[in-house]
Structure 1
Amino acid sequence: MAGFTLHKLHDSFGAEIRGLDLSAPMDPETCEAVTQAWLDHLILLFRDQDLTPEAQRKFCERFGPLGGRLRKAEDRPEGRDAENIMLVTNVRKNGVPIGSLPDGEMFFHHDKCYAPEPDWGTMLYAMEVTRVGGHTLFANMYDAWETLPNDLKDRIEGRQVLHIYKYLPTERVDLKEDIDKYDHQWQPIVITHPKTGRRALYVNELMSAMIEGYEEDESREIIDRLVENVKSADVIYDHKWQRGDLVMWDNWCTMHARTDFPRDQTRMLRRYTISGQALSA
């Protein structure tokens, strides 16, 4: 029995699920209902959860195999054994971050779009949150594609985009650099979602570097226009974190960003991902 209720977060997408304890066993019918709600709403919020790493991992695994980390083991702040788990936190020990992406703003991006098989989903659990800032912004990329002006659609239809990530939150790769130093991958600039069949814009502010068939300057101009069009449209949900929140989102049809926050306020979230597959137009 499903036994939960859905409450909209935004006119465009997103829903809060009430009535589920994610640390408790979940029957197949409920899991199927949550999966369908996720596909329908793109982002799901569960408030007031009390999740150990093991409980969060088990909930994540209900939806598929865990996604792995691409970052080299020796470069992971969480340690060499952190194959699936990431701490998103500004906490430091002896001046060294204990997790990833510690401070400040982070531009809009898709998780692991720079990999051959981008993760389908991300689950982020809030253990400590800031009083000010540190929100996560989500954009509905189905609607971003559907509301795109026709002139922009015509310029990108059928093309590929190069995604590159240098593990910095607000710094894009200069294409004059040796990009082989960084994880990178060509992807369709408009994908067909493997599970829904809907089309989604698959370009973002942080990692999208070059569009097939255009020179660097023109690529940058088109990418910037695409991102600005998303930002100006009514397709963004601003999530203000509370302790005990678990948010799961679909990486194939949303992108997300982080707002700035004071360095003297602690922010600690724990992330697992659900593995994905190669994407096609």
Structure 2
Amino acid sequence: MRDRIEPLMPADPVRGRRWADHRRTLEAIAWKYRTCSPWRDLPDELGSFQTAHKRLIRWAVDGTWERILAAVLAAAEGADDIGWTVSVDSTVCRAHQHAAGARKKGAPGRAEPDDHALGRSRGGLSTKVNLASDSLARPLALRVTAGQAGDAPAFETIMAGIRVPRIGPGRPRTRPDAVLADRAYSSRAIRNHLRQRGIRAVIPQPSDQIGHRPRRGRAGGRPPAFDAEAYRQRNAVERCINRLKQWRGLAMQTDKLAIAYQAALHLATILIWARR
């Protein structure tokens, strides 16, 4: 599995110091997030914890993790191994006390949100992971927001993140065959967005929307179509979340920086796709 990823890693620079062993660095980062251990507890055989942590952040900032994920997805698309019935959902991850305390303003030039994707919800500080998965429970796009943020506002960002390059000529594929989502995504804006892109929406209506339509009369419009049989496949995104949360460091948010946590999610996603 690592043999499929290693060729995609950054090459050694022409001048200056060579990279530390990429394989060992990947193992170090994966070990940290699988076990949810502090960086300083990294075993000696996996190298310096400072090297692993700096590499995680550096590759998040320069887009290396996203490029590797795009290459892995392109290989899967070339093998016709992506299920294009996409499910969208979110999950809330409790934040450890170590995740708090970062300065409000991110460093200049760093794509770090001011709130560090930490929000105070009913259970305390938390981070929400919004994601889209294919029909085989593998992530296609991920985005982290503060824990108290709503699901629907992140929908278009998640859909924009679905971008699978093709091997050879052709534009990246960005349009699923259908999108399955729960009642939290039942809004006119989301349905219009999917309709304009020619994507079938399989989203149930909440009871309040069903009750309001007759009272509004002609202005209520026709009820949207809903395929209950197709909706049963939405469990794919629940299984996808379960796979990601097998990594204890993803189930509990311990990073001060949102870009570090997002990078760890990308690494877990890369390894999930590399196992196919």
**TM-score above 0.5, yes or no:** no
Rg larger in structure: 2
TM-score, with structure 1 as normaliser: 0.32
Q: Which has the higher helix share?
A: 2
State TM-score, norm by structure 2.
0.32
Greater fraction strand? 1
